[in-house]
């Protein structure tokens, strides 16, 4: 039996975060949008302490699985939290110290000992390179073993929180000739000699979150900083599984990024309805289709698109919590929600006209913030390609 209601514990947290977003983040939105990274939002540090929702402990999961129970753990908690905080402000959400995308990489592939040592992180994730955009397997940053250290060399671009983070998870190849099987991730603390933030981007949206370029020049990190298994798989099947383990990071983070679009779309819809109500326009869901105005029809369609994306996100996160392969569902949720968030925000600006385009309200900011969610963590085209491979049973070499 399918239960589409959130568990009480998660619903209580959602309500708390909605209040914080309304009273804590929204009043800061315009301030830090205009400052554009010149100041770290200091107000966010206390909030980050509230986000340790847990629920994903291995012992608890094993016990629930043995009983045949559904597990509503850390992934479901985080997508709900992400949506609520992005209802407040996507850029400020990304600036939270506990939200770094590198944290998800540690959770996905680090050993139990590494997780115990690095559990409390503010880690960015450095994957994209000037010559390797959405194709993660095409990266050219190298990691060469030299004694007890790996020596990293390469350039990473579009690193979210790359400037403010305390650590960076860097994707690099142990052997370029071995292809994607040799790609590993390394935790590099800020301040490590040889790692330099060379540029901070000026952006259309999420301006309160920094996006950086990082250059690695003979950057040495201990062998223990390689996340997961250091061995390069020998057989073709083993290599495929090895890279699949690395890509598991995205199976965890893509629903969370999709949830950002869900939260932003809800914010745009709520503000639009509020502005229309102030003009004496209210929706009446009891009306028949033939009785609707064009405006009402548009709003009902936007609500339906929002609800579709929301349910896809919740399913992908639930599958991750319950140990079910969710790569296809994670990409489906990201593709649908990313597109939906941008379409909803732009349509809300259009519906509200001058009020939507003016900086007197946050709708124009929601529209600017929405576009990046459809791009980062895998573009719309990449997500559709992944889904197609899964549906058709094709490998990445067979379907490009």
Full DSSP string of 3-18: --SPPHHHHHHHHHHH
159 three-class SS: strand
Catalytic-role residue among 46, 69, 377, 398? 377
Instruction: Verify whether residue 377 is a known catalytic residue.
Output: yes
pLDDT for res 235:
65
- Minimal CA–CA distance to 139: which of 169, 176, 103? 176
Domain map of the chain by residue range? 8-118, 123-232, 237-392
The verdict on domain 123-232 having CATH code 2.40.110.10 is yes
pLDDT for res 50:
61
**Beta-ladder partners of 57:** none
Contacts 24+ apart (CB under 8 A), 45-49: 45/97, 47/20, 47/96, 48/96, 48/97, 48/98, 48/99, 49/98
Give the CA distances from residue 348 to residues 269, 272, 275, 293, in Å, rounded to whole numbers and listed in that order: 7, 6, 10, 16
Give the CA distances from residue 95 to residues 41, 163, 327, in Å, rounded to whole numbers and listed in that order: 8, 11, 26
What is the CATH topology of the domain spanning 237-392?
Butyryl-CoA Dehydrogenase, subunit A; domain 3 (1.20.140)
Q: 3-state SS of the chain: helix, strand, coil percent to 5? A: 55, 15, 30
CATH architecture of 8-118: Orthogonal Bundle (1.10)
pLDDT for res 239:
58
pLDDT for res 93:
93
Q: Establish how many alpha carbons lie within 13 A of residue 55's alpha carbon, considering only the half-sphere containing its beta carbon.
A: 22
Residues in the chain: 400
pLDDT tens string, the chain, 400 residues long: the values are 467 789 999 999 899 999 989 998 999 999 999 998 777 777 777 767 665 543 344 444 545 554 556 777 888 998 999 999 999 999 999 988 777 788 877 877 788 888 777 767 889 999 999 987 667 778 999 999 999 999 999 999 999 999 999 999 999 999 999 888 899 999 999 999 999 999 999 999 999 999 999 999 999 999 999 998 888 876 666 555 555 555 666 888 899 999 999 999 999 999 999 999 998 988 887 888 788 889 999 999 999 999 999 999 999 999 999 989 999 999 999 999 999 999 999 999 999 999 999 999 999 999 999 999 999 988 999 999 999 999 999 988 899 8
pLDDT for res 69:
66
pLDDT for res 400:
82
Return d(Cα 321, Cα 305) in angstroms, integer: 25
pLDDT for res 1:
46
pLDDT for res 15:
94
């Amino acid at each position: 039996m399918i239960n589409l209601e959130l568990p009480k514990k998660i619903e209580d947290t959602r309500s708390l975060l909605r209040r914080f977003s309304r009273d804590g983040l929204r009043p800061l939105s315009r301030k830090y949008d205009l400052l554009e990274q010149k100041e770290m939002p200091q107000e966010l540090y206390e909030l980050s302490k509230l986000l340790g929702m847990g629920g994903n402990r291995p012992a608890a999961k094993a016990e629930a699985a043995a009983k045949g129970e559904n597990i509503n753990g850390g992934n479901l908690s985080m997508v709900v939290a992400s949506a609520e905080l992005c209802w407040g402000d996507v850029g400020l959400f990304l600036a939270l110290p506990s939200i770094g995308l590198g944290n998800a990489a540690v959770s996905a592939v680090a050993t139990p000992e590494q997780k115990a040592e690095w559990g409390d992180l503010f880690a960015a994730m450095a994957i994209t390179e000037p010559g390797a955009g959405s194709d993660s397997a095409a990266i050219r940053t190298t990691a060469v073993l030299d004694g007890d250290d790996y020596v990293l060399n390469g350039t990473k671009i579009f690193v979210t929180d790359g400037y403010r983070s305390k650590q960076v998870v860097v994707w690099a190849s142990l052997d370029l000739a071995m292809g994607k099987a040799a790609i590993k991730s390394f935790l590099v603390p800020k301040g490590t000699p040889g790692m330099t933030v060379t540029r901070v981007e000026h952006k259309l949206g999420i301006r309160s979150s920094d996006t950086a370029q990082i250059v690695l020049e003979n950057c040495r990190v201990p062998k223990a900083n390689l996340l997961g298994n250091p061995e390069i798989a020998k057989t073709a099947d083993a290599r495929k599984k090895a890279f699949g383990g690395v890509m598991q990071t995205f199976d965890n983070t893509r629903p969370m990024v999709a949830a950002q679009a869900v939260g932003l779309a809800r914010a745009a819809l709520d503000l639009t309805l509020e502005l229309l109500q102030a003009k004496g326009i209210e929706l009446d869901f009891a009306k028949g289709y033939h009785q609707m105005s064009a405006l009402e029809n548009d709003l009902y369609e936007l609500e339906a698109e929002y609800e579709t994306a929301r349910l896809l996100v919740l399913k992908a996160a639930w599958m991750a919590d319950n140990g079910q392969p969710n790569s296809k569902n994670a990409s489906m949720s990201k593709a649908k929600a990313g597109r939906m968030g941008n379409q909803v925000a732009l349509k809300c600006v259009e519906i509200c006209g001058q009020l939507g385009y003016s900086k007197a309200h946050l709708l124009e900011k929601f529209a600017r913030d929405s576009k990046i969610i459809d791009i980062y963590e895998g573009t719309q085209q990449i997500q559709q390609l992944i889904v197609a491979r899964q549906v058709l049973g094709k490998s990445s070499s067979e379907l490009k």
